[in-house]
Chain A
Amino acid sequence: MAKKEKILVVDDDKGLCQLYKLTMEQEGYEVFTANQGEEGLSRALEIKPDLILLDIMMPMIHGLNVLDILKATPETKDLKVIVLSALSDEETKNKAREFGASDYIVKSQSTMAEVIGRVADILNA
């Protein structure tokens, strides 16, 4: 059996963090969590995950800034990032793509089954 793929979930909502962690673990991934942007950045450097699920609306450092820094840092610039957001407006979506996000998931517009599907798609791509 191949080595477990690593996913880092960065979300200030602890409930959501827990949900993604449990669900992704259920799907057979190794999951790490961070509750704020700064922690997310340091964990990303430390773990070098295969995929980051990044929330946008976070206090302190905004998710888009985290994404920008990740993509600007040589060690983390190749990491795949899926942006999670409660915002569905086109501007944020386009910005996320511009900053190098692999996918953009609007929370609650996508069911958990869809999130799993998209995570698998991105990791297999």
Chain B
Amino acid sequence: MKESNTKDIFLEFDRAQKLSGLVTGASLLITIIGVYLIPAEEVLRTQILIVIALVAMFSGIYYNSPKLYLNPKFRFLPDIAFLTAGAFSVLSSGHYGPFFLIFLFLIITIDAYIFSLKEYVVVVIASLILINVGSIFIWKTNPGLAFIILIQSFSLIGLAIVSRLFAGYSLKVREQKEALEKLNKQILRDKRESLDLLDSIGDGILSINGDGKIYLHNKSSVDLLGIKNLEGKNLNEVFNLYSRDKLPVDILKGITDSSPLIRTDLYYKKGRQWLRFYVHLNPLFADGALIGLIILFRDITKEKQMDEQNTEFVAVASHEMRTPLAQIEGFLFLAMKQLEEVRDISPETKNNIEMAHNSAINLINLTNDILTVFKLDSNKMEVVLKQVKLSDIIGGVISNYEKDVAKKNLKIHYKNQCKNESKIITDESKLTQILSNLVQNAIKFTERGSVEIVLKEDNKSFIIKVSDTGYGIDHSALKHVFERFYRPENWETRKTQGTGLGLYIVKNLVERLSGEIAVESARDIGSTFTLTLPKEYKNSDDLKKASEEELKNFIGTF
């Protein structure tokens, strides 16, 4: 659209210039004819023609050098030239003076695009007065000649007005053209700069138009794809992506709205080599229709390989650590048991073994926590859905901690405020882990009083509150308790042990189960952790994974 518009303007510009030239030429011709038609006895015709030629030469040079006519400093140059010529001609040509005045008037009119409208009106009026006054003088000696001059003058003024209009338009257009050319140069320079910038980026960039063709690409995209002539090619000709199983993937299918699509699981075959790509797809929409795409891609083959090696290393290392750790703990436990029966042994030795045993348990917990965090962070935590009764799970967790509660002389209460059976589809072992962590923490940080678990429900969710009457958490620390390795400074001094991962794991597990967790606490009054689980499990991927048979069982039990 824009392009055709500029073309029209330039066409008009040409036409206006040609027309101005024509009008000037016609004026000259009429004047010359007039000079020859009307008998000139007093003055030599050649004299008149020399003046015309001089003015024509000046006009020719002046109007063809934009440096002169576009420079406001020289705007009065033609006026001075024409007025000088006019004065000379009137003085020298006697009865033919008015012809020159007409001619000069026309030239000045052509020059009108230098004038403002106000100046133009002044010139027109002045010329009319001069012509009429000149005619009156001639009328006295030769009435017929004066009449011809008047007719000619007015018709020429008419022509001149038309030419003035075109000439004025022509200047405007000329200015526009110059401005456009300047802008065009600027744009080209800017484009070059942006292209240089795009080329210096290591990621491949492809810009696709609405027809699916590449209209812009950078150097890296050529290097990454290994295809030289990308411009104008169809995207699906050159940008073929595959899944891990080497099945073709149509990435465009994933686009439904203007939100960008990011995939890191796709492969590209470059020659014989399979490259893992990071692909960022930015769709461009206008009025609800896809009008283009910006694709940014990167070769992440090496990074992913290293990532996988690290992942494997952590998995293997922690797996290999489990057996020896279990044995250390087990043998220390056995030693402790055996020492219980030995009488003549110092309590210090017993204590030492007990300390070693505690440390072994801590190390086991830390290993397990790290493994869990690793699984959560690398998205390897699988969810196994099953229908369970919340009250059963809570009961089970409480019974596990009864001994610990008794050891610290605390009490543990459980209140079930649900009207119906608390049946829910969730992952039993993960929920158990969440509740165990919360109850364990409650016991750990409470010296006097009790731990209370309340099960409630509303329309949409089950709510489990785990409260204690312990130390509580400082207000400033509250928002950090779910962060990795976060431990308030003063906790350590209270001889509590832990990895600082427990609540981070809890939060992540809760989120994995589509639930929410919140904490309230007051210093020396206690803490309450509120776990909210939706009655309807939200993650559709997990639901799909749960086998159909199991799903049938859930439905059957409702």
Q: Which of A13, A20, A90, A112 contacts B384 (CB 8 A)?
A: A90
Residue of A nearest to B325 (CB): A108
Is A74's beta carbon under 8 Å from chain B? Answer: no
Q: A23-B337, A89-B382, A111-B364 are in contact. Are A13 and B330 (CB under 8 A)?
A: no
Q: Are B364 and A86 touching (Cβ within 8 A)?
A: no
- The bracket for how many chain B residues form the interface is 20 to 34
A13 to B361 alpha-carbon distance, docked (Å):
20
A72 to B326 alpha-carbon distance, docked (Å):
31
Q: Are B319 and A86 touching (Cβ within 8 A)?
A: yes
Is B38's beta carbon under 8 Å from chain A? Answer: no
With most chain B CB atoms within 10 A of its CB, the pick from A93, A108, A112 is A108
Q: Are A16 and B327 touching (Cβ within 8 A)?
A: yes
Is A65's beta carbon under 8 Å from chain B? Answer: no
The 25 sampled A-B contact pairs (Cβ below 8 Å) are A13-B327, A16-B326, A16-B330, A19-B331, A20-B330, A23-B333, A26-B334, A26-B338, A86-B322, A86-B323, A88-B371, A89-B382, A90-B382, A90-B384, A90-B429, A93-B429, A107-B323, A107-B326, A108-B322, A108-B325, A109-B364, A109-B368, A111-B333, A111-B361, A112-B330
Q: Are A15 and B334 touching (Cβ within 8 A)?
A: no
Q: A19-B334, A22-B334, A23-B337 are in contact. Are A111 and B384 (CB under 8 A)?
A: no
Q: Are B337 and A111 touching (Cβ within 8 A)?
A: no
Is A94's beta carbon under 8 Å from chain B? Answer: yes
Is A113's beta carbon under 8 Å from chain B? Answer: yes
Chain A residues closer than 8 Å to B323, beta-carbon distance = 13, 16, 86, 107-108
A13 to B333 alpha-carbon distance, docked (Å):
18
Chain A residues closer than 8 Å to B319, beta-carbon distance = 86
Q: Which of B321, B330, B367 contacts A19 (CB 8 A)?
A: B330
A93 to B429 alpha-carbon distance, docked (Å):
11
A97 to B368 alpha-carbon distance, docked (Å):
23
Is B111's beta carbon under 8 Å from chain A? Answer: no
Shortest C-beta distance, B495 to chain A (Å), equals 20
Chain A residues closer than 8 Å to B367, beta-carbon distance = 108
Shortest C-beta distance, A74 to chain B (Å), equals 28
Within B326-375, the residues touching A (CB, 8 Å) are 326-327, 329-331, 333-334, 337-338, 361, 364, 367-368, 371
Taken residue by residue from 89 to 117, chain A's Cβ proximity to chain B (1 for < 8 Å, 0 otherwise) reads as 11001100000000000011101110100
Residue of B nearest to A94 (CB): B384
Chain A residues closer than 8 Å to B337, beta-carbon distance = 23, 26
Shortest C-beta distance, B25 to chain A (Å), equals 97
- The bracket for how many chain A residues form the interface is 20 to 34
Chain B residues closer than 8 Å to A93, beta-carbon distance = 429
Main secondary structure of the interface of A (DSSP, over half): helix
A7 to B384 alpha-carbon distance, docked (Å):
32
Q: Which of B329, B333, B382, B429 contacts A108 (CB 8 A)?
A: B329
Q: Are B334 and A23 touching (Cβ within 8 A)?
A: yes
A107 to B320 alpha-carbon distance, docked (Å):
11
A15 to B324 alpha-carbon distance, docked (Å):
9
Within B285-333, the residues touching A (CB, 8 Å) are 319, 321-323, 325-327, 329-331, 333
Q: Given A89-B382, A90-B429, A108-B326, list of 6 further CB < 8 A pairs? A: A19-B334, A23-B330, A26-B337, A108-B325, A109-B364, A111-B329
A86 to B315 alpha-carbon distance, docked (Å):
12
Chain A residues closer than 8 Å to B331, beta-carbon distance = 19
Chain A residues closer than 8 Å to B371, beta-carbon distance = 88
A88 to B319 alpha-carbon distance, docked (Å):
10
Residue of B nearest to A15 (CB): B327
Shortest C-beta distance, A58 to chain B (Å), equals 12
Chain B residues closer than 8 Å to A108, beta-carbon distance = 321-323, 325-326, 329, 364, 367-368
Residue of B nearest to A93 (CB): B429
A93 to B428 alpha-carbon distance, docked (Å):
12
Chain B residues closer than 8 Å to A16, beta-carbon distance = 323, 326-327, 330
Chain A residues closer than 8 Å to B325, beta-carbon distance = 108
Taken residue by residue from 376 to 389, chain B's Cβ proximity to chain A (1 for < 8 Å, 0 otherwise) reads as 00000010100000
Within A41-88, the residues touching B (CB, 8 Å) are 86, 88
